[in-house]
Structure 1
Amino acid sequence: MFRFSTAGESHGEALVAMVSGVPAGVEVDPAFISREMWRRQQGYGRGGRMRIEQDQAHILSGVRHGKTIGSPIAMTIANNDWKNWQEILPVETGDAAKHKAVASPRPGHADLAGALKYDFKDARYVLERASARESAARVACGAIAKSILLPLGIEVASHVIRVGEAELSRPATFAEIRAIAGREQVMLACVDPGDEARMKAEVDKALRTGDTVGGIFEVVVHGLPAGVGTHVNWDERLDGLLAQAVMSLQAVKAVEIGRGVTAASSQGSTVHDAITYAGEEPAEHYTRFTREQNNAGGIEGGMSNGEDVVVRGYLKPISTLRRPLASVSFETREVTKASYERSDVAVVPAAGVAGEAMVALAVARCVLEKFGGDSLRELRRNFEGYCEQIRAF
């Protein structure tokens, strides 16, 4: 079974990422993984931590001579900030006087619920693991998933469609979305310069007032043939797996497939995608059956339908504010201001990159479950055979 896991704390020595179930023979380029992790660190509104860290994935196992060998892939991502926290968060007992307690839980964070759950008298250990710093390890895992999908012609890319009240004013092509990953300077990962400038103004407004701002990112899967996922069991539906994957990201509070939100207030005649049949196989499709629109976001009945899969993550504003909200002291139970930890103002582009990783991981799992293969050559043979089958349907 294809699966991944992560370990590590925000200010610990390193993050750890492990991926298992990867077929042998998949090319793994450390430079590609590093590029993906660099992208996660970019974007207007990021905080000081991103100037400290230079994320690189150090591969320990599962890859030899540039290709996977079928065994679990283990990676570490060093935390440069660890040198400032070694005496604050030591593995051994250490000096209690140097402990940096989080004495009042921050609204919107895992602080209070986690402290109650694990019987901690402050929220330090909760926030260390709950931090979005953990998503760096997910992005490393997602790069492995993309390395499985790319040889099959399946691409995953993201862009930002809203920051605060500023929204993308036109549809984006996949070519435009794909191009964002190649940018050397990332502002807010929007395909339209004018709309991106309006998004920047939203971040500037939040920065001036000591506030934070959220938004919406969109992840698109291009080149996925129809029939991935299934309708037969609730926990095998592609849309359900994608929703769980994206919702699991820190600060994501809602997930949308296609036109899911606006469809709820629309009539069926304007929502459902009419089916057409082409005389010749359209470019970038595996079947002559196509849709006039893609309101369904590439998924019908829990299965991919051959169109681009479109998933949106709705990101709440970052919970740590430079102008803290009211809270309660763990020790005195008196009203006080919430603790402040160094934070960002906006992270929507970075969340989009993490969203890509989670979508790629979910899609790779479904692709491997459907087509199987202990090696990339076997996987490709199965995949291509299926594509020929649906072409001839």
Structure 2
Amino acid sequence: MLRFSTAGESHGESLVALVSGLPAGVPVVQEFVDRELWRRQQGYGRGGRMRIERDTAHILSGVRHGKTIGAPVAMTLANVDWKNWEEILPVGTGDAEKHKAVASPRPGHADLAGSLKYDFPDARYVLERASARESAARVACGALAKLLLRELGVAVGSHVIRVGRQELGRDASWAEIAATDAKDEIFLNCVDPEAEARMKGEVDLALRTGDTIGGVFEVVVHNLPPGVGTHVNWDERMDGLLAQAVMSLQAVKAVELGRGVTAAESLGSTVHDAIAYEGSEEDFTKFSREQNNAGGIEGGISNGEDIVVRGYLKPISTLRRPLASVSFATRETTKAAYERSDVCVVPAAGVAAEAMVALTIAKLVIDKFGGDSLRELKRNFEGYCEQIRKY
């Protein structure tokens, strides 16, 4: 079973990422992992933290001579800013006078609920772990899942389809998404320059007014064969697993698969994807679809079309013009605490969602095809693909 976990705090010494269940023999390309981390740090509207950190993954175990060995892969991502926080957040007792309290909880963040849950007098420790900084460790884990999927010809990418009130307004092809993800400069990661310029205006407005802004990203899984996932148990369905994976990201408040939102207000005759039998020899089967409203998943199982997952990202909770809050110490009305923050993180959230989607798909692939080595996994995968081509 493919599993991953993360540890670390936003201003701690480092983040830790652990991935277990990868078969032996998967090539691990350091430059690819670090580029994924770089992509997460890009985007118009990012804050000062992105000018400080230059994330790289330091692999401690599970990889030898450039390939996985079947053992858990452990990685650390150093926090460059730790030198400024070492005395504020010591592991030992330290000097209590140097503690930097988050004295009033921020609406929309985990501050208040977490402080009540863990019996903290302020929200500092809650903030440190609840911060989206944690998603960098997920991206490192997801990079390994992408490298595994790449060996099977499966790719995962993302793009931004909405920022504030401005949206792309059309479908994007896989070629457009792949080209956007490959750019050396990532602005708002929209495939259309004109739409991206309109999105920039939304970010500029939020910046001028001391506000933040959210949006919608889309993650696409390309070239996954039909038959991955299952309908037989509720907690094994691909759609449910993807929804949980993407919803678990900080600030994501809704997840859509295919045309899930608009399908709710449409007639069945316009929503369901008519089936034909006219595919080419290069396709997994000759069964084909006229459209992909289902987002590549039917009954919790991949159907051979691109898998399409959208995440709806709320505006982040830290505002330069803070909302009303209450002091932890006095219980009096005050302004919410302010921590150095971003204005818009929609492109970065899309990259983090790619990681979560890749990890989910890789888990389901390993569950279905098995194999302790990459060679065994590929043999099983290719045998299955040959089987379904006969249909």
TM-score if structure 1 supplies the norm length? Answer: 0.99
Is 1:27 the counterpart of 2:27 in the alignment? yes
Whole-angstrom distance in 1 between the partners of 2:279 and 2:301: 24
Within the candidate set 329, 332, 338, 2:330 is matched to: 332
Structure 2 residue aligned with 1:207? 207
Partner residue of 1:120?
120
Q: Is the 8 A contact 2:239 2:300 kept in 1?
A: yes
Equivalences for residues 251-290 of structure 1 within 5 A: 251-278=251-278, 280-281=280-281, 283=282, 285-290=283-288
In 1, the alpha carbon distance for the partners of 2:155 and 2:7 equals 27
SS across alignment from 1:162: strand
The letter of the residue matching 2:369 is F
Matched position secondary structure for 2:319: coil
- Partner of residue 319, structure 1: 317
Identical-residue share of aligned pairs (%): 79
| Structure 2 CA distance for aligned equivalents of residues 279 and 321 of structure 1 | 51
| CA-to-aligned-CA distance 1:150-199 (integer Å, 9 cap, x gap) | 01000000000000001002221101101122111111000000000000
TM-score (norm 2): 0.99
Q: What residue identity is the alignment partner of 2:273?
A: D
Q: Tell me which residue corresponds to 1:243.
A: 243
- Per the alignment, residue 361 of structure 2 pairs with 363
Judging changes above 3 Å, is the alpha-carbon distance between structure 1 residues 279 and 3 closer, same or farther for their aligned structure 2 residues?
A: closer
Q: Write the mapping of 1:56-205 to structure 2, written as runs, cut at 5 A.
A: 56-205=56-205
Q: SS at 1:136's partner residue?
A: helix
> Once the two structures are superposed, what CA deviation does each residue of 1:1-48 show, in whole Å capped at 9, x if it has no partner?
110000000000000000000000000011100000000000000000
The corresponding residue for 2:18 is: 18
**For residues 285 and 3 of structure 2, what CA distance do their matches in structure 1 show?**
30
Give the aligned partner of residue 299 of structure 2. 301
CA distance in 2, matches of 1:254, 1:171: 20
User: Counterpart in 2 of 1:43?
Assistant: 43
SS at match of 2:189: coil
Structure 2 distance, partners of 1:237, 1:182, is 31
| Partner secondary structure for residue 369 of structure 1 | helix
Corresponding position of 1:219: 219
CA distance in 1, matches of 2:24, 2:171: 39
Tell me, yes or no, if structure 1 residue 348 matches structure 2 residue 371: no
Shift of 1:279: 6.2
CA distance in 2, matches of 1:361, 1:170: 28
- Deviation string, structure 1 residues 259-309 (Cα, Å, up to 9, x no partner): 00000000000000000001643x4x2010111000000000000000000
- SS of the residue corresponding to residue 380 of structure 1 reads helix
Alpha-carbon distance in structure 2 between the residues aligned to 1:346 and 1:318: 8
**Equivalents in 2 of 1:146, 1:279: separation in Å?**
27
Structure 2: stretches of 5+ with no match in the other structure: none
2:178 & 2:279 partners in 1: Cα distance?
29
CA distance in 2, matches of 1:164, 1:16: 33
Kindly report structure 1 stretches of 4+ aligned residues shifted beyond 6 Å.
none
In structure 1, how many angstroms separate the alpha carbons of the residues matched to 2:171 and 2:365? Answer: 28
Measured against aligned partners, the alpha-carbon deviations of 1:186-228 in whole angstroms (never above 9, x if no partner) come to 1100000000000000000000000000000000000100010
CA distance in 2, matches of 1:42, 1:7: 23
What is the SS of the residue equivalent to 1:5? strand
**3-state SS in 1 of match to 2:93:** coil
Rate the CA distance shift 1:389–1:191 in 2: closer, same or farther, 3 A: same
Question: What's the RMSD between the two structures over aligned residues?
Answer: 0.6
Unaligned runs of at least 5 residues, structure 1: none
CA apart distance, 1:324: 0.2
| Count of residue pairs brought into register by the alignment | 391
2:279–2:288 contact (8 Å) kept in structure 1: no
2: CA distance, partners of 1:279 / 1:345: 45
